[in-house]
Amino acid sequence: MQADTLEPPSPSLSRTSEVPVPSSPFRPKNLHPFKVQEFGYSLDHYHGNMPIDDLENITQRIAVLEDFEKATGKEYGMPEESPDSDFAIRERAKKEAIDALAKSEDGKEEKVQTAETLDILFRLRRLAMTLQLPRSPGSSPSLSANQQNLACSKLVRSPEGSRFWAVIIGIDAYPFSPLRGCVSDARTMTQYLINDLNVPGSQIDLLLASRDVPGCQDFPDVNSVKFPSRKNIVQILLNLRANPLIKPGDNIIVYFSGHGSSYSCEEYFPRETCGHIGAIEAICPVDRNERDKDGRIISDISDRELNAILTLVRRKGANITVIADCCHAASLTRGPSYAIGTARVLPALVSAVDDKISSLESMLREGDEGLRKHSSNVPSVLAPDWSANMSSHVLLAACKDFQYAREVQNSDGTHGIFTEALVRALKSEASKSCTYEGLCNALQIPREFKYLQTPCAAGDHINTYLWTDRPFPR
């Protein structure tokens, strides 16, 4: 199939009758009912290539569905100013649809339509970013008066450096699509922890893979526990749980700089349970797509597996912050032609010819089997109704889940746009009096990237002061 054509949807899966936009007392009056076939895409279209000949039409469709997203968010009682509100609304809609189907509630069809409509918006946004269509300036979140106060409140004392623990991961040496600035970014973050927060070097685990020859300082031997393989990354994170020196109230920082990827839930989860909606994000270890000692393809590390591990670690009573300078807006149909910068994203792994299960199922099963060895008291990452534990940690992400995190080269080397802005902000006096959300909203992203890469904070504790569990007074 050509990249600029679109196969007609399967009659057994797509809707050809009129599908009204779910009703809401907050729905804008100018948001009319639509037919999925007239709108242009149903979820079934995303199994193949998508048409790209009418870019203006794509942005118009995004604008219409953003009105619906905004109305849905109001109905859920969610704040509009949060940079990550689109993700929160989408996840809430999916959960409500799954619960309604499981309980056979009245109105379940409408809830499924809401979730699928928001998923179409997510995919259109991802397509727009792939095609380098910057969002209009008005759609990028700006600091409200309340958010400005979040970044400039009274001074809050940071914990002692001895109460910080960190896992820092930086990977440039991917066999396919190597990067240049991730190891440098990891070093920059490490220097901030040691020089500015006074964190003892012995409390920082550094896993690096540069593009230099194996065995050098930034590329340990592949048999070293400091080599950022899938096995080592997972084990280092699990070691935090077993570390008797980490006490309640301590801070744990997990930093990852490298490639991310994304897997469509449709690859594995059934439509009947509504599990097919959305995507599962992943970070890419340096040995992804290689064969392990048993001949199995080494998978990425899914966000579900990471969330489960962090939930186990959180039970120690520590405050966990995850910083991710990667992106997940991978395109399975065509690679993006980046006008500026290099994107930190890889396509999802493709199942081998001799594999009987999808790459998504393989990744989830590998994660689930590993988790069961450490605890039986975590939800299975294979469950169609799985939902993230948003209380386990705060996430500071380089961009929204439909955007691309970029690295750029200048006179002092190659670095990630997000990490550079983040470390600059962390070193400022304002960081001593801000919340996680306030910090993220105040990051100074270069003008040419401002509408292409929007840093986000996510989690139940984003409105606590940085490096503490003290909430910002509302």
pLDDT for res 470: 86
Per-domain residue ranges of the chain: 36-130, 146-458
Question: Which of 435 and 40 is assigned the larger pLDDT?
Answer: 435
Range of weakest confidence among 19-33, 277-291, 309-323, 382-396: 19-33
Confidence of residue 328 (pLDDT cuts 50, 70, 90): low
pTM equals 0.79
What pLDDT band is residue 361 in, cutting at 50, 70 and 90? very high
Lowest mean pLDDT segment, chosen from 13-17, 42-46, 107-111, 400-404: 13-17
Residue 114: its pLDDT value, please? 94
Q: In this predicted structure, what is the pLDDT of residue 112?
A: 92
Average pLDDT, the chain: 79
pLDDT the model gives residue 404 = 83
Enter the CATH code of domain 146-458. 3.40.50.1460
Q: 53 pLDDT exceeds 60?
A: no
Higher pLDDT residue, 42 or 458?
458
Phi (first) and psi of residue 11, to 5 degrees:
-60, -30
Residue 76: HSE in the Cβ half-sphere, 13 Å Cα cutoff: 22
